[in-house]
Chain A
Amino acid sequence: MTELVWITLALPIVGVVVLALLGMKLPARGAGWFASLIMLVAFGCAAIATILLASRPEEERQVVQVAWTWLSAGNFSVGLDLWFDELTAVMLLIITGVGFLIHVYSIGYMKDDPQSRRFMAYLNLFVFSMLLLVLSANLVLLLAGWGLVGLSSYLLIGFWHNKPKAIKAAKKAFIMNAIGDVGIAIGAFLLFVDLGTLTYSGIFAGAASLSETQASIACLLLLVGALAKSAQLPLHTWLPDAMEGPTPISALIHAATMVTAGVYLIARFNPLFHQAPKVLDLIVIIGVVGLLMAGLIALVQTDIKRIIAFSTMSQIAYMFVGVGLMSYWSGVFHLFTHAFFKALLFLGAGLVIHALHGEQDIRNMGGLRKQLPKVYFCMMIGALALSGIFPFSGGFSKDAILASALSVDTPIGWIAYIGGLAGALLTGIYTFRLMFMVFHRRMSPYAENVIPHSVKHHGEGPSTMLWPVYILSIGAAFAGLLQIPGVTHVFLSWLEPISPFGMVEPSAGQEWLTTLIGTVVGLTGIAIAYHLYARENTAPELIRNGNARLIHRALERRLYWDDLYEWTFERPLQWASSFLNRDVDSPAFRWAPLDGLGQLTAFFGRSFTVIENGIVRMYALVFALGIGAVILFLLVRG
């Protein structure tokens, strides 16, 4: 079984090496299919490994294997250790499964791009990094994976590197993630100082011995990493910009896998977070605020991918709420379903954009359901799942989180519950605003121009792009059935062993109640969206009148977070750097020794040689004065 896991981990890096070395010698399509095939095999291995894991008795499902010592110094040593358990298996399946689909999709998506081989290599690199992240059995290796996914994310966001906006977005993402990396690194240092080890088993075993303060500080630092990677408040600003990258990337990295790593981290470190209940509360608060804020901002965005991006942020905030409430299973469950429906929405959006020759503004779309019926159908499934409508997958998972909040029955729980329901309303509105503006209402002039031609030539899109969407639709529609309250509990029982302290499990009654309320709220949101957007884009007039205008503007500027960071960090940093360069380093360290000392010495030299004027009488005079000086000196001294 562990061999299969190793193979799963190794395959993508083999892909990277092969693609990098063969490079242009490979036909573009061949490279795409090769990378996809690798992912398929990896998925197969992961699936078989999961089945083998499931066939073991529950207490033997935690496998740790050390390959070799990676780094050591004194009594510090970390190895290339694999950790394979139920949580890892879920992540593994999502990464390789969704990863495979998106690889296939990319073949079609990138078929006209001359650099598609590079794209495929980057994709494989990302998958490898992500697998490393989830498979690691110690914090250093986790950090390595954590950083490498950041790197691949950087490479892929900036894939079209002649677009300055894309490069700027890529850098922003990388730097914000670097802040997160640093957070985790410091957390690791503190844990090492406190516990003397960085392996999961060591940390989990020693967690109980930590004081609450120690545990809280360590958890806070890990949380910094989680927030940065999962684009949660206040480190979220990179995610919307990251939409400058190719759409498959948005689907894979910025929806299905990488951004959920924060949730994975918290779930993984649940024994540690258990020691820091205040941090868990903080996570819930951040989640609630984040999901509401992202939902509100999503209401007014006009870029189709940005809307989905803010929705991603909002949905991950739900997961944070779930894990923050110690209902780890529900958070991961939502992560699981979200991978399907959000990847689906992104890929669907990609098809729309493809059909519109790269147009991303939903105001330039409209009425596309006739031209793109299959896409419309699939995206509708995704939209319903996202809005949490029973019986689509999102409904089950989101309601599981909210039901957990209900069952906790603390002030925090109630905040989460009510906030989550409000978020569900927003979700319904912004999701269907998107759906109605893209697929319903009258077609915009731009779309009218482009679409007939596009559909005539390409249909709805190449089959490599359509089939992944179909498969994801099936997942988005039915993945929730794994966990029907009171009927099936595959997910819960599968994940239960990962938390030694148990998890919050709502009763079936609480779940059904929440499902009912959630569906009603979601449908209400859809109704509002229908009222506002289904026929004409009436909302702008509505909102731009009166006091709502200011709010609208603020939401459009994403509540000024970017401006805040620009004025508090970016500009002061540049200013300080320029100041140090111009006014400190150059005069104090580079100018002074050179010109100052050198010129001064030369000046002394020149003044001094003035008496060496060539006239022998002068020389004799100096001689005479010297004689006088020496005699005087000796006589005066005694």
Chain B
Amino acid sequence: MIQGPSVDWIAIAPEVALIVGAFGLLLLATFARAYERGLSIVVGLGALAVSVAFSVAAWGNAPVVTMADAFRVDDLTELVRITVAIMAALVILLSVGWARFREHGSEFTALLLLVCAGMGVVAGSTSFVTLFVGLELFSLSLYVLCAFDGKSRASLEAGFKYLVLGTIGSIVLVYGAAFLYGATGSFMYGGVAASLAEGGSHDSIVTLGTALVLIGLLFKVGAMPFHMWVPDVYEGAPTQVTGFMAGATKLVAFVALARIVLEALPAVEHLWSPVLIIAAVVTIIGGNIAALVQTNVKRMIAWSSVGAAGYALIGIIVNGSDGLRGLVFYLAAYAFTAMGAFAVIAVFERDQVREKGYATLDGMRGWGFSRPFAAMAMVVFLLAFAGFPPTAGFIGKFVVSGTAVTHGYAYLAIIGAIGSVIGLGYYLRVILSMYDRSRKSDVGLPASPGLGGATLVILICLAVVLLGGIVPGILLDWSGQASAFLAVVK
């Protein structure tokens, strides 16, 4: 009899709920194909709700370490779990009217639940092993989700590209973990940190390991120059999945990055800090200027999310308690903003079914007059991207750049400001296009299937984005509480 590690089932209940839900759904669906869509919605949302309930119940409790110390459940983990689950719920709501969902809703939902489970694992992992497992769990499922729109070649293309490049990214990450293991003898963050703190950290194996781990994570967050997959995958994937990736994947990847550099690699800050700084600068500028020349709105926001990743990197670089709080707030706010924006694009795409139009700037001309609510919401989301008050984007930008300025990284804040100015340029192009009077029709468009779900998603995101800007106190408190579990270097 092999003695397995002790498992605190309560601590990992959210993931368990999701996995059980996923497989349960698949099982049920095989017996009740006729009710596939309803079943998917009910079971999917139910599993997510249970997961969220467990997380919320654990919110504020003392951290629990389980699974042979490889998994830690603290408020940061909970925050990620909750956010990711809400994102997934929004994806389900957004998929209601989608033809593919009617046919293959159970697979889609199950994969989505698995993604959430994987993300929860990543968020709480304190070991490269759990990190890798969680990462692959959600990545593999995401590859499929990206390619899920079987009728669209672009979707398949996106899935394949994501698979190839994502695998390289994972390989690089594990490769780096292997080197760190070689240098320190441990896969645990704590063990690595302790070993590095003792011994001199100038060993080239450590350097190599740090570099590769950083690269793997920078790939996941979509920072330059490891961003190449982002625009293509975001553009090709089903729009609700894109929204999920832009919001949830980014949040999780950053939490993983923050945990690793702050918990495992604090001793080699001199190695990762300059890399992150350079990556941040290049990413902010590059992402924004590339977005400036896009004509496809989905792709434009993809590029802008590259820029946003650069911005979030500032939070890690500064890594004071303010900076990390800002980072978490920024990412959480960004998740809802991105989800809302892509939800609007999804509405647009459904309106354009007959014209087979993508969400191009040209195609969107005058659309704002036909769908006033969605378009107005889009304006709010775009302004939140650009960091205008009174949106959550403003508070996020304010806190991140504020901490940068006060901790001696004013130049990064200024780079961020330049990026924001460029950003305004293209966000406004979208607004201008939507409210272009040269092609307008006062006739309201017919209600397309699933519009109710999309409207609900937009409303929820709108509420979060605006409340996060108008009464950000609570969200900031939560972010602060969560980020407190990130060790602060210095």
Direct A–B touching, Cβ under 8 Å? yes
Task: Verify if B204 is at the interface (C-beta below 8 Å from A).
Answer: yes
Task: Verify if B452 is at the interface (C-beta below 8 Å from A).
Answer: no
Choose from A601, A623, A627 the contact partner of B289 (Cβ within 8 Å): A601
Interface positions of A from 495 to 522, Cβ below 8 Å from B = none
Q: Which residues from B are CB-within-8-Å of A623?
A: 165, 168-169, 219, 225-226, 228
Task: Verify if A619 is at the interface (C-beta below 8 Å from B).
Answer: yes
Decide yes or no: A609 and B293 within 8 Å by CB, A623-B219, A626-B215 being known contacts.
yes
Task: Verify if B211 is at the interface (C-beta below 8 Å from A).
Answer: yes
Say yes or no: A634 contacts B211, CB within 8 Å: yes
Task: Verify if B55 is at the interface (C-beta below 8 Å from A).
Answer: no
Say yes or no: A630 contacts B161, CB within 8 Å: no
How close is A534's CB to chain B, nearest CB, in angstroms?
A: 78
Choose from A612, A631, A633, A637 the contact partner of B228 (Cβ within 8 Å): A612
Say yes or no: B231 contacts A612, CB within 8 Å: yes
Task: Verify if A450 is at the interface (C-beta below 8 Å from B).
Answer: no
Q: Which residues from A are CB-within-8-Å of B168?
A: 620, 623
Interface positions of B from 281 to 295, Cβ below 8 Å from A = 286, 289-293
> A614-626: contact bitstring with B at CB < 8 Å (1 yes, 0 no)?
1010111011011
Number of interface residues of B (CB under 8 A): 35
How close is B360's CB to chain A, nearest CB, in angstroms?
A: 16
Choose from B274, B290, B292 the contact partner of A637 (Cβ within 8 Å): B274
Say yes or no: A630 contacts B229, CB within 8 Å: no
Task: Verify if A638 is at the interface (C-beta below 8 Å from B).
Answer: yes
Q: Which residues from A are CB-within-8-Å of B286?
A: 608
Task: Verify if A546 is at the interface (C-beta below 8 Å from B).
Answer: no
Cα A626 to Cα B212 with chains together (Å): 11
Say yes or no: B211 contacts A620, CB within 8 Å: no
Say yes or no: B215 contacts A630, CB within 8 Å: yes
Cα A609 to Cα B169 with chains together (Å): 21
Task: Verify if B214 is at the interface (C-beta below 8 Å from A).
Answer: yes
Say yes or no: B290 contacts A608, CB within 8 Å: yes
Decide yes or no: A602 and B293 within 8 Å by CB, A616-B161, A623-B168 being known contacts.
yes
Say yes or no: A601 contacts B292, CB within 8 Å: yes
Say yes or no: B425 contacts A606, CB within 8 Å: no
Cα A609 to Cα B295 with chains together (Å): 13
Choose from A602, A625, A634 the contact partner of B275 (Cβ within 8 Å): A634
How close is B175's CB to chain A, nearest CB, in angstroms?
A: 10
Q: Which residues from A are CB-within-8-Å of B291?
A: 605
Say yes or no: A635 contacts B204, CB within 8 Å: yes
Q: Which residues from A are CB-within-8-Å of B212?
A: 627, 631
Say yes or no: A627 contacts B274, CB within 8 Å: no
The dominant DSSP class at the A interface is helix
Task: Verify if B305 is at the interface (C-beta below 8 Å from A).
Answer: no
Choose from A609, A611, A618, A627 the contact partner of B172 (Cβ within 8 Å): A627
Decide yes or no: A604 and B219 within 8 Å by CB, A629-B225, A630-B211 being known contacts.
no
Q: Which residues from B are CB-within-8-Å of A635?
A: 204, 207
> B238-273: contact bitstring with A at CB < 8 Å (1 yes, 0 no)?
000000000000000000000000000000000100
Cα A602 to Cα B425 with chains together (Å): 10
Say yes or no: A598 contacts B275, CB within 8 Å: no
Say yes or no: A612 contacts B290, CB within 8 Å: yes
Q: Which residues from B are CB-within-8-Å of A612?
A: 228, 231-232, 290
Task: Verify if B164 is at the interface (C-beta below 8 Å from A).
Answer: yes
Interface positions of B from 422 to 438, Cβ below 8 Å from A = 422, 425
Choose from A619, A625, A638 the contact partner of B161 (Cβ within 8 Å): A619
Number of interface residues of A (CB under 8 A): 28
Say yes or no: A605 contacts B232, CB within 8 Å: no
Cα A242 to Cα B69 with chains together (Å): 99
Decide yes or no: A625 and B202 within 8 Å by CB, A620-B165, A630-B211 being known contacts.
no
Say yes or no: B289 contacts A619, CB within 8 Å: no
How close is A633's CB to chain B, nearest CB, in angstroms?
A: 7
Interface positions of A from 564 to 621, Cβ below 8 Å from B = 598, 601-602, 604-606, 608-609, 611-612, 614, 616, 618-620
Cα A256 to Cα B225 with chains together (Å): 85
Choose from B202, B226, B274 the contact partner of A626 (Cβ within 8 Å): B226
Decide yes or no: A634 and B290 within 8 Å by CB, A601-B422, A614-B232, A622-B228 being known contacts.
no
The total of interchain contacts (Cβ-Cβ below 8 angstroms) comes to: 77
How close is B421's CB to chain A, nearest CB, in angstroms?
A: 9
How close is B489's CB to chain A, nearest CB, in angstroms?
A: 18
Cα A611 to Cα B202 with chains together (Å): 35
Interface positions of B from 158 to 215, Cβ below 8 Å from A = 160-161, 164-165, 168-169, 172, 202, 204, 207-208, 210-212, 214-215
Q: Which residues from A are CB-within-8-Å of B219?
A: 623
Q: Which residues from A are CB-within-8-Å of B274?
A: 633, 637
Residue in chain A with minimal CB distance to B210: A634
Q: Which residues from B are CB-within-8-Å of A618?
A: 228
Decide yes or no: A602 and B292 within 8 Å by CB, A608-B286, A616-B160, A625-B225 being known contacts.
yes
Choose from A605, A625, A638 the contact partner of B293 (Cβ within 8 Å): A605
How close is A221's CB to chain B, nearest CB, in angstroms?
A: 49
Cα A630 to Cα B172 with chains together (Å): 12
Q: Which residues from B are CB-within-8-Å of A619?
A: 161, 165, 228-229, 232
Cα A638 to Cα B290 with chains together (Å): 33
Cα A637 to Cα B202 with chains together (Å): 11
Decide yes or no: A634 and B229 within 8 Å by CB, A620-B165, A623-B165, A627-B172 being known contacts.
no
Q: Which residues from B are CB-within-8-Å of A608?
A: 286, 289-290
Say yes or no: B228 contacts A598, CB within 8 Å: no
Q: Which residues from A are CB-within-8-Å of B215?
A: 626-627, 630
Choose from B214, B225, B293 the contact partner of A622 (Cβ within 8 Å): B225
Say yes or no: A634 contacts B228, CB within 8 Å: no
Q: Which residues from B are CB-within-8-Å of A609?
A: 290, 293
Cα A410 to Cα B108 with chains together (Å): 113
Cα A333 to Cα B160 with chains together (Å): 105
Q: Which residues from A are CB-within-8-Å of B232?
A: 612, 614, 619
Cα A598 to Cα B207 with chains together (Å): 41
Q: Which residues from B are CB-within-8-Å of A627?
A: 172, 211-212, 215
How close is B479's CB to chain A, nearest CB, in angstroms?
A: 30
Interface positions of A from 543 to 559, Cβ below 8 Å from B = none
Residue in chain A with minimal CB distance to B285: A604
Decide yes or no: A631 and B211 within 8 Å by CB, A612-B228, A620-B168, A622-B225 being known contacts.
yes
Cα A638 to Cα B202 with chains together (Å): 7
Residue in chain A with minimal CB distance to B426: A605
Residue in chain A with minimal CB distance to B204: A635
Cα A70 to Cα B416 with chains together (Å): 51
Cα A45 to Cα B256 with chains together (Å): 93
Say yes or no: A620 contacts B164, CB within 8 Å: yes
Q: Which residues from B are CB-within-8-Å of A622?
A: 225, 228
Question: Would you mind naming 21 contact pairs between A and B with Cβ atoms under 8 Å apart?
Answer: A601-B292, A601-B425, A605-B289, A605-B292, A606-B293, A608-B286, A608-B289, A608-B290, A611-B228, A614-B232, A616-B164, A619-B229, A619-B232, A620-B168, A622-B225, A622-B228, A623-B225, A626-B215, A630-B275, A634-B275, A638-B202
Interface of B toward A, CB cutoff 8 Å:
160-161, 164-165, 168-169, 172, 202, 204, 207-208, 210-212, 214-215, 219, 225-226, 228-229, 231-232, 271, 274-275, 278, 286, 289-293, 422, 425
Which 8 pairs between the two chains have the least Cβ-Cβ distance?
A: A619-B228, A605-B293, A626-B225, A605-B289, A605-B292, A631-B211, A604-B289, A616-B161
Q: Apart from A601-B292, A612-B228, what are 14 other A-B pairs with CB-CB below 8 Å?
A: A601-B425, A602-B289, A605-B292, A608-B286, A608-B289, A618-B228, A623-B168, A627-B215, A630-B214, A630-B215, A631-B211, A633-B275, A637-B274, A638-B202
